[in-house]
Amino acid sequence: MSVASPAAPQVLESSLLDGVPARAQREDHEAWAEQASRVGHCHRPVKLVGQTHTIDRATGVILTTLDSNVLPDGVLYVKCGNRRATACPPCSREYGADMWHLLRAGAAGGEKGVPTSIVTHPMVFATLTAPSFGPVHALKRPGCTTRRCRPRSRRERCPHGVNLSCMATHQPGDAVIGQPFCVECYDYEAHVVWQWWAPELWRRFTIALPRVIANQLHVTQKMARRIVRVSFAKVGEYQQRGVIHFHAIIRLDGPADDLDPFRPR
Ligand SMILES: [Zn+2]
Ligand SMILES: [Zn+2]
Ligand SMILES: [Zn+2]
């Protein structure tokens, strides 16, 4: 789960840098800066052209109209909302912060109308990962038994003769991280199939778990729902090898608990 972190200073490409003085000198610079700020300085805002009306629901009367023609560059910016930091750092940070508060409320209570008594509920923080599709170079985090990538004492080789041991301590940003040792051996097909089915696998999991609980309680699912409710929250992330995995908080609530902060709002 990514948590909001301070924005790292970024170096602008020279082509963009050239445009800065020109933009700053324009008459509509202030309005433009206001627009950019309103979309959280999104890196790839969607540019809309046309009109938006605010309509009184009861009477159908148009209260205000915004025409993109009057805006700088003649466009209305809307944030891209991309969750990936590589696509848009500001939007992904905002999503991370929102997600953090949602998960925090669901796990600890004390915000979003969730009582702190929620901490007494049975709760599991699970990480659901894909199986191995073949060895890949890894960035080992502090706390791992070794920081070396894949140390093997005996020289292990794949059928293509590739050495499957790597004694390197890879650094963040190292291009080899997540790359297979042998592209011939790595099961790319299974990797792609996993990506495609990961959301469906999660959906099936949310269906299967209440069934398992009912089974354990020796009651029907309908009866089990009257005794216990399962609340889920999950965040999908890419591992270094580019495979989706899920971090999930799974909480059990009683029948009288009328709360579910995990539902997106
Ligand atoms: Zn964005
Ligand atoms: Zn390595
Ligand atoms: Zn191989």
Tens-level pLDDT at each residue, the chain (265 residues):
444 444 445 566 777 777 788 888 888 888 888 888 888 889 889 898 988 888 988 898 888 888 888 888 889 898 888 888 888 888 888 887 887 787 788 788 877 778 888 888 899 989 999 999 999 999 988 778 888 999 887 778 999 999 999 999 998 888 999 999 999 999 999 999 999 999 999 999 999 999 999 999 999 999 998 889 898 888 888 888 889 999 888 999 887 665 555 544 3
How many A from CA of 45 to the centre of ligand 1?
6
How many C-beta atoms surround the C-beta of residue 262 within 10 A?
20
Please name which ligand lies nearest the alpha carbon of 44: 1
Task: Kindly state the helix (H) or strand (E) to which residue 245 belongs, with its residue range.
Answer: strand 244-253
**Structure-block tokens of residue 8:** 């790292």
- Ligand 3 centre distance from Cα of residue 258 (Å): 54
CA distance 186 to 132: 9
Rounded CA separation 156/13 (Å):
44
Q: 3-class DSSP state for residue 177?
A: coil
How far, in Å, are 77, 82, 87, 92 from residue 42 at the CA level?
A: 9, 9, 10, 9
The structure's pTM equals 0.61
Ligand lying closest to the C-alpha of residue 158: 3
Q: How far is the CA of 192 from the centre of ligand 2 (A)?
A: 23
Strands 123-128, 244-253: pairing kind: antiparallel
* Ligand of minimum distance to the alpha carbon of 89: 1
Query: How far apart are the CA of 133 and the centre of ligand 3, in A?
Result: 12
Instruction: State both tokens at 245.
Output: 């995995």
Q: Which residues sit opposite 124 in a β-bridge?
A: 250
Q: Where are the beta strands (DSSP E) in 130-176?
A: none
How close is the Cα of 96 to the center of ligand 1, in Å?
Answer: 13
CA distance 235 to 245: 8
